[in-house]
Structure formats: C-alpha cells, structure tokens
Chains A and B, each alone.
Chain A
Amino acid sequence: MSWTLTAALAVFVVAAVFLAPDPAEDRARALGERIRCPVCQGESIADSPSDPARDMMNLIRARVDEGRTDQQIIEELVGAFSGSVLLDPPVAGATLWLWILPVLAVGVGGGLVLSRFRPRKVPQSRLSRPAPTPLKRTAMGGMVVLAAGAIAMATVGQFRQGRVDNLAPIDPANISNETLEAVIAANRDDPQIVGMRLALANRYFEDGDYQRAFPHYEAVIEAEPTPIQAGAALTRLGWMVFDGNGEVELAIDLIDQALEAMPEDPFALYLKGRVVWCGRDDPNGAAVLFGQVLAAPDLEPDVRVSVETDLATAQAGSSCQ
C-alpha cells in the first residue's frame, strides 16, 4: 500500500514539474504583450507571427534568462524604437493627456448630468438675458475649434523638433570632392552629370591636382558637352599637358580647339600666351595674346593687373616668369 502511494506521489511530482507553466516564459510573454510589433498594425510581439516580432520575443526571453528586470528590458526596447513601441502609452510627457482625458470626460459628463437633474433657482437677471443666436453659437464653436487646432499644431511642431524631414538646401561650395565623385560615379550614364564633372575637375585643376582633374576633363570631352563646356575642358587639358608634361605643341593645339568654341575667352587666350611665352620662348607672340586678353571688358581688377604686368614683361623681351 505504501509502495503504491509512494509511486503515485512520485508520478504526481514528476508531472507537476514537467507540466507546470515556465515562469520565465510567462514573464517574457507578459512583457511581449506590452510591446507593439514594429511591422504590424496594433498587434503585440507576443501575438504577431512576423519574423521581427519573433526576433524581439527571443531577445526578451534572452534578457529574462540573463536576469534583467522588466523595467530594464522595456527601457532597452524603448531606447531603440522610441515610446511608440509600447502598446500602452506612458503616463508621462505628451501622452499623459491620453490617460487624464477620459477621467476628466467622465467627471465633467457626470457633473453635467447631475446638474440637469438638480432643481435650481434661476436669478431674475438671467431670465431677461437673451439666448445666444444660432449664428453666435456657431461662431463661438468655430473659435474654440480654431484655437484648439492652433494649439495642436504648435504641439505637433514641438513633437517634430529634432527631426530633419527635409534637407536644408545644399550649398555646392560645402560639398566635398568625395561627394561629387560619388554622385558622378553613381550617375555616370546621365548626360546631365557633365556640368558637375566639369566643376569637380576645375576644383582639382585649381588645387594643382592634375592627376585627378585629367580623367574628368577627358570624360567631359567624350560626353558630348556644350561648346562652352568643351572649351573649358580643352583649355585646362592644354595647360596641364604643358605644365605637367612639357608638351608645348599638343598644349597649343588643345587650346586652339578650345578657342574655336569660344574665340575670345580670356582664360584660354591667357594660358595660350603663357605656353607660347614659356614653351616656345616667344615673348612677342605672347604679348599679342595678352593684349587680346586685356581687350575683354569684364576682367577682374586683380587679373587685369596681373596680365598687364605679364604684357609689359613680354613686350620688354624678357623670358617668362
């Protein structure tokens, strides 16, 4: 008899151990029921079959096993997804009204109902006051709605602080060469990119980085540019082959091609003058070109002074400086 009782008790204990709910899993599920599935509509991660919800439940189980408190686990998820991940909004901050308002509504509603049933004296003075006209009532209601709307919009504006929904206009001067390189590389088949490529090449040219400028100018020439774009690229290519490689005739040939597209371009004329002067050692030929540069009406004053100095030196028959 005692053996039978002992065996029954043993079976009961084993069954109780194996069939009893797992407290850790219960806790994880309870936490999961408080968390909104980020890819679902109003569904908790405990109830959602989606993969992200399953991943989040697994994270919660892991955190429970690690011994984290409920508060720590909730804070971890809110810290990543924001308070919107909570199915019940927090009783604080902007969502505090969600909790207060129903209580207020019940209180005020109850007060209104009670006031209807309570017998009251109406002062004599009030009896003589005319009731508001329908128009006046509508106007007052409209004002309430408008005022509430204005406050609401201000609140929404406060919510949105810190978010940059629209980019501030990008100042081309602040765009790095790397960004321009990236945009050009990502849009290399777009014919509209020629202008940006030319601007980047000019940056490299002005920095004396001919190695980076050269392939961009070549690409501009190959991309069916406008005559002005082609002229700008050919002028600088011509100068680079002279300044970088000492190739005088090729430089003059390239700048001459540029001048076919833009015959009176002062920059092309000036660079050709420098090549003629310094490469061919021809100060007279250079002086003629510098004179043509000075005929341009819109030269910057400092540029004009510099070209006038070169002209005077060349006219004196001196070597290029």
Chain B
Amino acid sequence: MRVVRWLASGMVFVSVGLAIVFTTRFGNDPVVVDSPLLGQPAPAIALPKLDGQGTVDLNAIDADVVVINFFASWCLPCREEQPHLVATANAFADRSVQFVSIAYRNDPADIAVFLEEYGSSPETLYLLDPGGRAAIAYGVFGIPETFVIGADGSVIRKIVGAADALLLGSTIDAVLAGEEPGQVVVGETFTGPDG
C-alpha cells in the first residue's frame, strides 16, 4: 500500500511538472520554436529572379555573410522592415555581404509595387519562391523571417519578426566575428494575406 501511495505521489509530481513544461513551452506561438537549421548547412535551393533574368543558387553565392529575408507585400511588419533592409544592404555594399529577399506567396506585380513604395537596394537579389519550396526548406512559419548564413555555409542566426538596421547590422557584425548560432525573436509575423 505504501508503494502505491508513493507511486501516486510520484505521478502527481510528474504530472504537475509536465503540465507546467508544456503550458509554458507549447502554449507559445510556434514561430518561436528553435530552428533546427541553426548551426546546420543552409538548404540548397535555386530560385528564379524577380526580374525573370535567370535563377540564383543560394548555396553558390560567394560571400562571407548571406542575409536571406522572407517577405511579402501583404505582410504589415515587412513594410516597417523594408527601409532597414535596404539601408543595411547599401551600407554593407563594400563588404563581402549579400542580401537576398525572397517573396513568400506573392505575385511579381504586387512585389514590384511594394518595392516601389518601400524601397529596394541594388545590392539585394530579389527572388521568387514558386511552390513555396524555399519557405519549406527554411522552415518558415510566418514572415518576416530572416536567416543569416556564415562563410562556411551554415545558418548562424534566425530573426523572427521585423528587424531594424541596428539588429541586422550588429547581427552581421556578430556573424563576421564568428559568434555562435542563435535565434532572435523581435516581433510578430504574418502567415498569409489575412494575417
């Protein structure tokens, strides 16, 4: 009888603990789940350019840092983020840093209007993602999401939400300085045109 009572107490103990764990962890927005890509080689994928002039193999980009941003014209935080992406891409033009913006579930015509209104950088590659293959390969839950790839081709940073120029620039500085992989959650993301 005493054994059973101890087992019952243990069950209560474990149940309460697990309840706290799972309500704390899994009650959160799934976008804050750590990306399994951190520290792993970036997915190999080739995407067509927005201007229709060929495709770009993301893993073939020759740069010490590659900043891959998923955006869309229907994403409100992306409108806030775009001027910061443009400013950062322009500022790092003389360094071995390549910015890549991948349109997530968006028509080229809508993207063109978005870039016209919120700015674009000649230092950035603007790509399409037909079939959402890149978004799936990078495990995109919502946008904006930004992945920063180091010189060895591995994913060093994931930024969830709209990043500003200070975050983008200091992240690039950190990656160039060889800092450890990690993830930063700075704001909300959108999953579709209806939010």
Binding site for B on A (CB under 8 A): 38-39, 50-52, 55-56, 58-59, 77-82, 84-85, 97-98, 101, 104-105, 108, 111-112, 115, 120, 144-145, 147-149, 151-153, 155-156, 159-160, 162-165, 167, 170, 174-176, 178-183, 185-187
Contact = CB atoms under 8 A, between A and B. Distances in A.
A84 B34 CA distance: 10
A179 B172 contact: yes
Interface residues of B, number: 68
12 contacts: A51-B132, A52-B132, A55-B133, A105-B11, A108-B4, A148-B13, A155-B21, A164-B183, A170-B166, A175-B169, A176-B173, A186-B165
A107 B54 CA distance: 63
A180 B91 CA distance: 9
Q: Looking at chain B's contact residues, is the secondary structure mostly helix, strand, loop, or mixed?
A: helix
Contacts of A111: 4, 7
Interface of B: 1, 4, 7-9, 11-21, 24-25, 30, 32-38, 40, 43, 83-84, 86-88, 90-92, 94-95, 105, 131-133, 135-142, 164-170, 172-173, 176-177, 181-185, 191-192
A82 B170 contact: no
A185 B90 contact: yes
A59 B4 contact: no
B148 to A, nearest CB: 12
B15 A170 contact: no
Contact of B136 (A39, A59, A156, A163): A59
Nearest to B181: A162
B28 to A, nearest CB: 10
B14 A182 contact: no
B14 A97 contact: yes
Contact of A55 (B30, B35, B132, B139): B132
B32 to A, nearest CB: 8
Contacts of A155: 17, 21
A185 B168 CA distance: 13
Nearest to B15: A101
A165 B184 contact: yes
Contacts of A152: 16-21, 24
Contact of B43 (A38, A39, A80): A80
Given A111-B7, A155-B21, A52 B191 contact: yes
A164 B13 contact: no
A187 B165 contact: yes
B182 to A, nearest CB: 4
Given A84-B33, A170-B170, 20 more contacts: A38-B141, A39-B142, A51-B132, A59-B136, A79-B40, A81-B33, A97-B18, A101-B14, A105-B11, A111-B4, A115-B1, A155-B21, A163-B32, A165-B184, A167-B184, A178-B169, A182-B87, A182-B92, A186-B164, A187-B165
A319 B190 CA distance: 68
Given A152-B17, A187-B165, A178 B91 contact: yes
Contact of A163 (B139, B142, B182, B191): B182
Given A163-B34, A179-B173, A186-B87, A108 B7 contact: yes
Given A39-B192, A149-B16, A183-B165, A120 B1 contact: yes
Closest A-B pairs by Cβ, 7 of them: A179-B169, A55-B132, A164-B182, A80-B139, A152-B20, A182-B91, A39-B191
A175 B176 CA distance: 12
Contacts of A159: 21, 25
A108 B11 contact: yes
A51 B13 CA distance: 42
B122 to A, nearest CB: 14
Contacts of A176: 169, 172-173, 176
A105 B11 CA distance: 7
A105 B12 CA distance: 10
A162 B184 CA distance: 10
Contacts of A115: 1, 4
